Structure 1
Amino acid sequence: MAATRILINDNGRQWDEENAKEDSPTSKKQIGAKWEGRFPLSKWELAAAVSVFSLFVIGLLCVYSTMPAAEYGNIKLPRSISDLRILKDHLANYAKDYQAQFILGYCSTYIFMQTFMIPGTIFMSLLAGALFGVIRGLLLVVFNATSGASSCYFLSKLIGRPLVSWLWPEKLRFFQAEIAKRREKLLNYMLFLRITPTLPNTFINVASPIVDIPFHVFFFATLIGLIPASYITVRAGLALGDLKSVRDLYDFKTLAMLFLIGSVSILPTILKRKRTYE
């Protein structure tokens, strides 16, 4: 049996030669390549995904079945600001008359969409502002976004690795390298990513367990980091008539403010590095 050489990296950590080969640039190019031409999930992983999805759908249907009757023909997931205005008009009285039931249905839908990366949660956030105002709307959005992101994290931990490697191989390699460089101040970096649009939130949700970000770091970074952008979106929901498209939410001024807030979160890391090199 061939002996395995032990290597030492710059941080003093040990790993064997076989693992070192896996971390080499040549092997990294193969991430995602092995999934080319075929669906990445095995039969077991696909069955697990379908089972989890089915459970969520059944739970969602159970919630809807307990809600008071409504004109469901007029209710659909919005895909544009004009759709959202129509939906808001149909739901305004319903949300006021059956507030508890409506909030339960709203939360269930938001978490379902966030868990399975279904586009449209930004419209749900705008709707929260339009129907509930800034404070209650913000609490609702942050709660649902954090719960849905956490649910997506655990789903990805179960079956996400082959799927993410197949869909976003380059982005995953970049994320993995950035996380490896920032292990000591991981919470600060995750806060920066959540506050700023550097990486899509959907990608962060599914890639975090794959690059070994601890759940407590993921959870607190999500809970705190989503507040600024959620506030902007919920506040915009109060004036749906002034919005022409979702792009109006994030103009240059808004993006600059988010990056400024995000920069504060990584300031301790920058200062520590500066002291180290002095």
Structure 2
Amino acid sequence: MKVKIVRCSSVPNNFLQSLSTSAAASSSPSISMAAPRSLVAETSIRLVDRDEENVESPTRKRFKADKFPLSRWEFAAALGVFLVFSTGLCCIYLTMPAAEYEMLKLPRTLADLRLLKDHLANYAQVYPAKFTLGYCSTYIFMQTFMIPGTIFMSLLAGALFGVVRGLFLVVFNATAGASSCYFLSKMIGRPIVNWLWPEKLRYFQAEIAKRRDKLLNYMLFLRVTPTLPNLFINLASPIVDIPFHIFFLATLVGLIPAAYITVRAGLALGELKSIKDLYDFKTLAVLFLIGSILLIPTVLKRKRIYE
């Protein structure tokens, strides 16, 4: 460490020359006890400032932890993918027949959903193929980029398409969107998940490590039950090395029970008072019962291993 000497008018020049000579000859900085107090204090402040640059203080660590997790290249890649998807979605909408576009918006409440359903009911009957294409592309776009509101899209499917066709569309779109989110997370998701859910990610990674032999059963359990949010599962799965074929199959099959409940509720959209009414105690109990049945092979295999 070198000591930078600042000239002061109150210090004689011969003293500064002798101090510079002694500092250069010595391996560590030293200051004569005969130096004036003002020079000693100023030099000490400079030494402290230099040392603080190399010390990771809690404030500095907190500042680094709060920084946006993506690098410039990662952010550019995510933005590029988003622009590609957005351009494709806009092209699909521009090729559709004219409509009152001011009425077309993503619903955020049940009231918005009822107005949208009334507006689109006739449109879906007149142009079924083009309407289905627009519906599917919107659903997949929302699922890929984690835009809230897919539950309203599932309710809309039940209201406009019925149970059978609506269930097929919801499961297909949710699986396709989750798969797109999986590959997007594989490219840039690790810093985001570590930034948003560090503890939950460590828990998920430990649980996956314990269930490698029956990973499909565990992933089905997670998809059927609301143990972990689907958004987190989509983002974290490639980070904890869940193979895509297991992720895809668990998503395709595991989303059927919850999708059926939501689509069926869309038939009685006018009677639905709150989104919370979809998952009451009875519904959650049934979902956890189905998930527990899916975990039976894992429990039996672990029991045979310990025996």
- What TM-score results when the alignment is normalised by the length of structure 1? 0.87
Structure 2 gap ranges (5+)? 1-60
1:262 corresponding residue in structure 2: 291
- Sequence identity percentage: 78
Q: Given the alignment of the two structures, is residue 250 of structure 1 paired with residue 279 of structure 2, yes or no?
A: yes
**What residue number does 2:134 align with?**
105
Trace 1:170-189 onto structure 2 (pairs within 5 A): 170-189=199-218
Contact 1:113 1:148 in 2 (8 A): yes
Q: Secondary structure at the match of 2:268?
A: helix
CA contact (8 A) 1:116 1:152 kept: yes
Structure 1 residues without counterparts, runs of 5 or longer: 1-31
Deviations 1:185-230 (A, max 9, x none): 0000000000000000000000000000000000000000000000
Matches within 5 A, 1:129-208: 129-208=158-237
Task: Specify the alignment match of 2:110 in structure 1.
Answer: 81
Query: Deviation at 1:34?
Result: 9.4
| Alpha-carbon spacing, 1:33–1:209, altered in 2? closer, same or farther (3 Å) | farther
State whether structure 2 residue 247 is matched by structure 1 residue 218.
Answer: yes
Kindly state the Cα deviation for residue 176 of structure 1 after the two structures are TM-superposed.
0.4
Q: CA RMSD in A?
A: 1.2
Structure 1 residues 92 and 40: alpha-carbon distance in aligned structure 2, compared to 1, 3 A threshold: same
Contact conserved, 1:40 with 1:166, CA < 8 A, in 2?
yes
* Aligned counterparts, 1:8-157, within 5 A: 36-157=65-186
* Aligned residue number for residue 23 of structure 1: none
2:270 match: 241
Indicate the SS of the match to 1:183. Answer: coil
Q: Retained in 2: the 8 A contact 1:78–1:120?
A: yes
Name the aligned partner's letter for residue 103 of structure 1: T
CA shift for structure 1 position 272: 1.4
Aligned length: 247
| Partner deviation per Cα, 1:146-169 (whole Å, 9 max, x = no partner) | 000000000000000001100111
TM-score when scaled to structure 2? 0.79
Largest Rg, 1 or 2: 2
SS at 2:298's partner residue? Answer: helix
Partner Cα distance (1:60, 1:40) in 2: 28
Residue 277 of structure 1 and its aligned partner are, at CA, apart by 2.5
* 83-92 or 34-43, larger mean C-alpha shift: 34-43
